[in-house]
Structure 1
């Protein structure tokens, strides 16, 4: 009874705060980490710019946990992503961002982060109650709270926080980056696996109910769209491909030198990117090739923390174990100019993450003229590595290590003229993932709001 009473008091307090004052005529973007430097941050700044163009007399604000100023955020948007805002956004500094830091929750991470986002969202709405609350970071449990505060709610969802695929992996006891081997092993207690299934099912229910509170949900791919439609039944959901900055890459020549053929793989050294499987596939490919036609593999990425650094070290050890260390190059934390140069010389680009929700690096390969070889799932399969002009191949898909090795060999065995035709088609296809296309689609979706 005491717990119920406490919850009722909290609910009453929130309702009291929510109805104390009118919404300020502003559009506020909920993006607690404005320094992540990834595709999500690019979406944020492109969205802010588009909103400023659509509603020039409505101020924009950013909810962030970073120490930032309006001018510093505007400068970052331009210097990091080439996005020039029409005016610096207002900054609403959040003090409780640590509540959504996954490192604080070794167990029940999804649940704890979600509950933490509610507190963070409450802080945001108390500091600024906008007419439109726009989430660009995927914290769906803030949507009911924003609606309670009288806000309209929009979001751009890069991937579902919980999906039926995740539940299926636990049910099948498949070991993957979101399902530890301890629980996945067949001999483990049936109770542990059942408990995690129930936990995921409850999270999916909570996530689904919260997502339905969004007036408008934009999603980044067909794969994300299919999952969100199942979870957020009744919400208005629109697919808007993310803005990929490919203009400078499309200036690179499509022809490749036959003197030094190499594959490139661009991704942070995170577990889900499956660098170890790429290395194993490359070793298998080398075994099938003659000594004079052996290519190189260039792994390009960055390390977020000590775990990533350890993973990079393990990859180097794996290359030595497989005897291919003389054919593999590691490029850590390189500049964009250096990355562009590497992309411009690669015969093909490797991306082997399972269920990658979209795959910006795959689009970058295509723009640069490197034939993509991606995992046969989710975004790459459904949206990106798709035949152009009816039947012109734009790249290759593989689901297993032997398949990936086979596709590497196939690309190397092609005549240069055949590779060039695929590269041309791939470059044509990448146009649909441009910033201009994002801007047009985003604005079309936003016409439902009258601010």
Structure 2
């Protein structure tokens, strides 16, 4: 079956490779080393045009790959069929200021993305998305067989399909696990037994799928800890099977424009702006931000000029409806004149706010990482973040034994004692906003200096260096399996 897929894809592959040769000079063409044959690296990212942190990871990896490996052709598998390749490249440039060599970028449009859309599966959502990713990836490799497959969105159930059919190396960049061990703590074994069995079955299937990833990269400590526990079969395979499972999982922090943002001065007076940079999705909990900001305004009365600025991208009509509902909520809370919504902002617009705002907020529970929080801190904003996930474990951490920001919990979490127990007394967001915005000028400067220092390790340079290390290993595996297929008489 894999051989049939290769034959089916042979003409389009040859067309792409011919285009590669046409783009280089004749002198380079004649001197080309056979070992440096064109390599098609497939990046599976069905929402590549979304403009969020996950997309920054994708396009930074593509950019670094192009610079390090002139023979690499990057194929992007996406379901964004309503835009053209040129429009995608233009958005990458505007949103992330990443300029790509477009002649070595191939966009493969997929028509079955609806199969991984949560709305397609109102019941058994996890299982539906997992199973839906299988025909979606089959559509992808039917249209173009890559030499290396890299999933940058976490669709683990694609790995067995690609690995077994094509026998090519599989790299996984995991933003967050589809199911995590702490999800089981939320269930009552007696009252929710069917759901418990369903989740346990899914966790076992997820572990099996993860076993087929040759290189696993987690975006932060929270994801790393969970994925190691959930993908226990991968660890077992590393010991008993010679399928290149010799490498342990690693943490690869997402790339953030820290150097550029750290140029903003922190010793100047900032405007009383509370800034949120997050895609307009329900899990980002913009409702909570609005409610807590309204409580803060109510608490200080007319003594503050603070405003809340919500910047984010929207993926589809559901996200647009979500923004509409948020606007209505702001009006109901009486803070419409203090809240600003900015959709699909350019990077220049975002930088303008990062250079002038005082506080950056992130309300998501168990945010797997939080690139927006890094951007806040690199620009000198004081972070107010939920006491969980990446913002707690990796980003808004102490520097030289002193805090860089404030962590909050919801009143419900406090009452139910579900907040993370870290030995600190945490309050709700409105109170933490009050503390952050009430700091003296000297205290605020010290917080900002520590925040900028903490953001150093999330630079683009650090990401690219570690990404290229892992990519080199994937390319070594590709060379080995390529030669192995030739020796066995299969189409290379």
TM over 0.5: yes
- Which residue of structure 2 lines up, in the alignment, with residue 90 of structure 1? 106
- 2:178 is matched with which residue: 150, 161, 166? 161
Deviation, structure 1 residue 416: 0.6
| Residue 324 to residue 256, structure 1, CA distance change in 2 (3 Å) | farther
Whether contact under 8 Å (2:79, 2:113) holds in the other structure is yes
Deviation, structure 1 residue 422: 0.9
1:395 is the counterpart of 2:420: no
Q: Distance in 2 between matches of 1:89 and 1:307?
A: 30
Deviation, structure 1 residue 442: 0.9
Q: Distance in 2 between matches of 1:430 and 1:129?
A: 39
Q: Which moved more, 1:126-135 or 1:145-154?
A: 126-135
Whether contact under 8 Å (2:95, 2:345) holds in the other structure is no
Q: Which moved more, 1:27-36 or 1:60-69?
A: 60-69
Q: Which moved more, 1:120-129 or 1:249-258?
A: 249-258
Secondary structure in 1 matching 2:390: helix
Secondary structure in 1 matching 2:104: coil
Q: Which moved more, 1:155-164 or 1:245-254?
A: 245-254
CA deviation map 1:385-412 (0-9, x unaligned): 0112x22321111112543222212122
Deviation, structure 1 residue 324: 4.2
- Which residue of structure 2 lines up, in the alignment, with residue 252 of structure 1? 264
1:275 is the counterpart of 2:289: no
- Which residue of structure 2 lines up, in the alignment, with residue 181 of structure 1? none
Whether contact under 8 Å (2:267, 2:445) holds in the other structure is yes
* 1:62-211 to 2 correspondences below 5 Å: 62-67=76-81, 74-86=89-101, 87-148=103-164, 149-169=166-186, 171=187, 190=191, 193-211=192-210
Whether contact under 8 Å (2:184, 2:196) holds in the other structure is yes
CA deviation map 1:313-358 (0-9, x unaligned): 4444444544444544444444443332223222111111100000
Deviation, structure 1 residue 294: 5.3
Deviation, structure 1 residue 311: 4.0
- Which residue of structure 2 lines up, in the alignment, with residue 51 of structure 1? 65
Q: Distance in 1 between matches of 2:314 and 2:8?
A: 45
- Which residue of structure 1 lines up, in the alignment, with residue 359 of structure 2? 348
Whether contact under 8 Å (1:70, 1:88) holds in the other structure is no
Secondary structure in 2 matching 1:374: strand
- Which residue of structure 2 lines up, in the alignment, with residue 422 of structure 1? 447
Deviation, structure 1 residue 17: 3.9
Q: Distance in 2 between matches of 1:311 and 1:94?
A: 26
Secondary structure in 1 matching 2:253: coil
- Which residue of structure 1 lines up, in the alignment, with residue 23 of structure 2? none
Q: Which moved more, 1:394-403 or 1:61-70?
A: 61-70
Q: Which moved more, 1:74-83 or 1:112-121?
A: 74-83
Whether contact under 8 Å (2:258, 2:459) holds in the other structure is yes
> Between Structure 1 and Structure 2, how many residues are aligned?
418
- 1:372 is matched with which residue: 367, 383, 387? 383
Q: Distance in 2 between matches of 1:308 and 1:131?
A: 35
- 2:456 is matched with which residue: 408, 422, 431? 431
Secondary structure in 2 matching 1:251: coil
Whether contact under 8 Å (1:220, 1:242) holds in the other structure is yes
- Which residue of structure 2 lines up, in the alignment, with residue 243 of structure 1? 255
- Which residue of structure 2 lines up, in the alignment, with residue 217 of structure 1? 216
* 1:23-62 to 2 correspondences below 5 Å: 25-62=39-76
| Residue 96 to residue 316, structure 1, CA distance change in 2 (3 Å) | closer
Secondary structure in 1 matching 2:428: helix
Deviation, structure 1 residue 88: 2.1
Deviation, structure 1 residue 269: 3.1
Q: Distance in 2 between matches of 1:160 and 1:218?
A: 12
Q: Which moved more, 1:288-297 or 1:111-120?
A: 288-297
| Residue 97 to residue 311, structure 1, CA distance change in 2 (3 Å) | closer
Secondary structure in 1 matching 2:262: helix
Whether contact under 8 Å (2:9, 2:142) holds in the other structure is no
Whether contact under 8 Å (2:73, 2:104) holds in the other structure is no
* 1:396-411 to 2 correspondences below 5 Å: 396-401=406-411, 402-411=427-436
| Residue 292 to residue 98, structure 1, CA distance change in 2 (3 Å) | closer
Q: Distance in 2 between matches of 1:365 and 1:376?
A: 16
| Residue 344 to residue 444, structure 1, CA distance change in 2 (3 Å) | same
Deviation, structure 1 residue 139: 1.1
Deviation, structure 1 residue 225: 0.5
- Which ranges in structure 1 are unaligned for 5 or more consecutive residues? 1-13, 174-188
Q: Distance in 2 between matches of 1:151 and 1:441?
A: 21
| Residue 115 to residue 414, structure 1, CA distance change in 2 (3 Å) | same
Deviation, structure 1 residue 105: 2.3
| Residue 438 to residue 370, structure 1, CA distance change in 2 (3 Å) | same
Deviation, structure 1 residue 227: 0.9
Secondary structure in 1 matching 2:274: strand
Q: Which moved more, 1:51-60 or 1:16-25?
A: 16-25
Q: Which moved more, 1:299-308 or 1:38-47?
A: 299-308
Secondary structure in 1 matching 2:401: coil
CA deviation map 1:8-53 (0-9, x unaligned): xxxxxx4664687999843222222332222222212221222334
| Residue 34 to residue 302, structure 1, CA distance change in 2 (3 Å) | closer
